A and B are shown apart, each in its own frame.
Chain A
């Protein structure tokens, strides 16, 4: 027994090294899972506060652009509101629950990264404002990501620029659906997979969300096809998409609360093969 202790003591540096590295590895693995460690991330109040301060400084440099963007968005929203009103007045009253299917919570980005393989965005709305893990996040330009976890006043969002996030999308012109995923390189380009080779795609085709998972509303812009590649004997196209949202200029986003998600999920759960 004594010799064991002596042995441990003699190589204490190595064993401490081993113990610390194993602990770190465990932390990394924990953090990669969907609901990771709840406290030590940027949704914690202190860290969120510091990031908030830092973002406020940065905001001054983009005020003009943000203003212009918001004005544009206002105009667009006013137009679509008018169209909606027209529809209602013209007597096509839809089901109340369907028209209120999605709620939107607007939030400000307090922390953002685009250059890593696993990018996250921190926003200044949390569980107190009704944000919960799994909700979709969009901006006025298009898809942004999915909420990973929340604290009472902040949330961490898995960015579309995260090699672990997959989103179901479809080609607006033809209606074929596939999967959007980032390849970790250019923050303005994502990949669109599983479009079979018989489909006739063209450069400039618009890719929108399919709405199949019920998380994202249908028809949110993702981007446009920039490069088409089809290898000999490959069953699917390799499509590269220029994303509509410039992630380096992200400042305001909306969190989408899907009110019928539970109903959709419990219906589809009865057919076990449908949920992938």
Chain B
């Protein structure tokens, strides 16, 4: 269609392969995982249709799953936060509302707003992900440590990416 869609698709693959080739090996202390691909989903323009968001969440999650041998796991968590995302964004509307086609990025809204926006969603994503993977609450405390450590790790890397490539996503 237009140029921005082509760029979006390219960026999709950059995030995907960065995740499965590099970040997959960058696990810290056996508990902290970095799922940067969530950043791609969270940085979609503010006014994106929720149906498109969920479809994107599913495709991204599914693609990651194929490489992680965990069919459906990442897809489930990603679709979940994509559903919640727009409600959460609506609740966080800054004074004067969002600009048309604005990105929910650090450059547009500041680092404080960005953290309040992403932190709960990343936490939600990781909670669903790790507890589903553990198959319930049998390993409650150890899983909780994994969730908290990974949430911090992912947010940190996401912020670094935001500062290295400011404004535009990529």
Interface residues of A, Cβ cutoff 8 Å to B: 12-14, 16-17, 20-21, 23-28, 30-31, 36-37, 40-42, 44, 47, 50-51, 54, 58, 111, 113-118, 120, 122, 156, 163, 183-187
Enumerate chain A residues within 8 angstroms of B83, measured Cβ to Cβ. Answer: 13-14, 17
Q: A17-B83, A20-B54 are in contact. Are A27 and B75 (CB under 8 A)?
A: yes
Q: Are A184 and B142 in contact (CB under 8 A)?
A: yes
Of A27, A37, A50, A58, the contact of B67 (CB 8 Å cutoff): A50
Q: Contact at A21–B69, with CB atoms within 8 Å? A: no
A44 to B65, CA, bound (A): 13
B23 CB → nearest A CB, Å: 12
Give the Cβ gap from B114 to chain A, nearest Cβ, in Å. 25
Q: Which residue of B lies closest to A46 (CB)?
A: B66
Question: Which listed residue (A23, A44, A50, A115) contacts B27, Cβ 8 A?
Answer: A115
Identify A27's interface contact among B21, B25, B31, B71, CB under 8 A: B71
| Residues of the B chain whose Cβ atoms lie less than 8 Å from the Cβ of A21 | 76, 79-80
Task: Choose the segment among B89-97, B98-106, B128-136, B161-169 that binds chain A (4+ C-beta atoms closer than 8 Å).
Answer: B128-136
- B67 near A42: Cβ-Cβ < 8 Å: yes
Is residue B20 within 8 Å, beta carbon to beta carbon, of the partner chain?
A: yes
* A32 nearest CB neighbor, chain B only: B135
* A187 to B133 Cα, complex, angstroms: 16
CB atoms of A17 and B75 under 8 A apart: no
C-alpha gap A186/B139 in the complex (Å):
13
Residues A47 and B67 in contact in the complex (CB < 8 Å), given A12-B51, A16-B51: yes
Among B54, B61, B70, B72, contact of A118 (Cβ-Cβ < 8 Å): B70
User: What residues make up the interface of B, taking CB atoms closer than 8 Å to A?
Assistant: 20-21, 24-25, 27, 30-31, 33, 50-51, 54, 58, 61-62, 65-73, 75-76, 79-80, 83, 132-135, 139, 142
Tell me whether B133 and A118 are in contact (CB under 8 A). Answer: yes
Given contacts A23-B72, A24-B73, A115-B27, list 5 more A-B pairs with CB under 8 A.
A17-B54, A27-B71, A42-B66, A50-B21, A183-B139
Write the nearest CB–CB distance from A69 to chain B, whole angstroms: 21
Total number of residue pairs linking A and B with CB closer than 8 Å: 95
Closest CB pairs A-B (n = 7): A27-B72, A24-B76, A28-B72, A31-B71, A24-B72, A17-B83, A13-B50
- Per the bound structure, the CA–CA distance linking A58 and B21 in Å amounts to 11
B4, chain A: closest CB distance, angstroms = 23
Closest residue of A by beta carbon distance from B58: A20
Taking A16-B51, A50-B21 as contacts, is the C-beta distance between A24 and B75 under 8 angstroms?
Answer: yes
Measured in the bound complex, the distance between the Cα atoms of B83 and A12 in whole Å is 12
Q: Are A117 and B72 in contact (CB under 8 A)?
A: no
Min Cβ gap B139→A in Å is 5
Q: Name the residue of chain A whose CB is nearest to the CB of B21.
A: A54
Contacts A16-B54, A117-B134, A118-B133: A156 and B75 contacting too (C-beta < 8 A)? no
B66 cross-chain contacts in A, Cβ below 8 A = 40-42, 44, 47
